[in-house]
Amino acid sequence: MVNINIICVGKIKEKYIKMGMEEFLKRMNLYAKVKIVELKEDGNDSDRERSIERESSEIIKMAEKHKGFNVLLDIGGKKLSSEEMAKEIEKITVRGMSTINFIIGGSYGVSDEVRRISGLRLSFSDMTFPHQLMRLILLEQVYRWFSILGNSKYHK
C-alpha cells in the first residue's frame, strides 16, 4: 500500500473544507494510507523571508522524516492532466517508492531548498487558490489519480 503524506503549513479553519477533506480521506482508504501533516504557520508580515525560511525548514524536516518522493505544489511547476499525473504516480511507485509527500507551502511560498528536494514541482493552475482550499482540491485529485489507476468509475 502506498503512503501519502500531505505536508502543509497552517490549520484548516472552515468546516466545509474539513468535511470535504474527511470524505476524500475516507475514500482513499481503498488505495493508500493518507496522513495530513500540519506545520505551524509563521506568518510574520514584517519579515516574509524569515517566515519562508522558518516554514521551509519545518517542511524539510518533515519530508526527511517521511522519506519518500516529494511533490511540491508550485504555481511555477509542471502542468499535468489528471491522467498524466496518475501515470506519474504509477512511475513513482514502480520505481519502488512507497511514500509520496505532497508539499503545500505557506502563503509566502517556500525556499529554494524545498524546491531542490522536490522530485516534481506540480502546478494545478496559473490561478492562486487559498492554501486551505488547495488541500481539499489536492485530496480530490489524489483520489482521482488512484481511481484512474484502479479503473474506477469515479473519473469517468
Q: Is 105 annotated as a binding residue?
A: yes
The label of the residue with cell 517542511 reads 59
Distance CA 17, CA 80 (A): 24
Would the annotation count 93 as a binding residue? Answer: no
CA pair distance 54, 43, nearest whole angstrom: 10
Neighbours of 134 (CB within 10 A): 17
Residues 39 and 20: their CA atoms lie apart, in Å, by: 20
Q: Supply the DSSP symbol for 106.
A: B
| 111 labeled binding residue | no
126 is in an annotated binding site: yes
- Residue 47 assigned ligand-binding role: no
- The response to whether 127 counts as a known ligand-binding position is yes
125 is in an annotated binding site: yes
| Residue 146 annotated as part of some ligand binding site | no
For the annotated binding site for S-adenosyl-L-methionine, the residues are 73, 105, 124-129
For the annotated binding site, the residues are 73, 105, 124-129
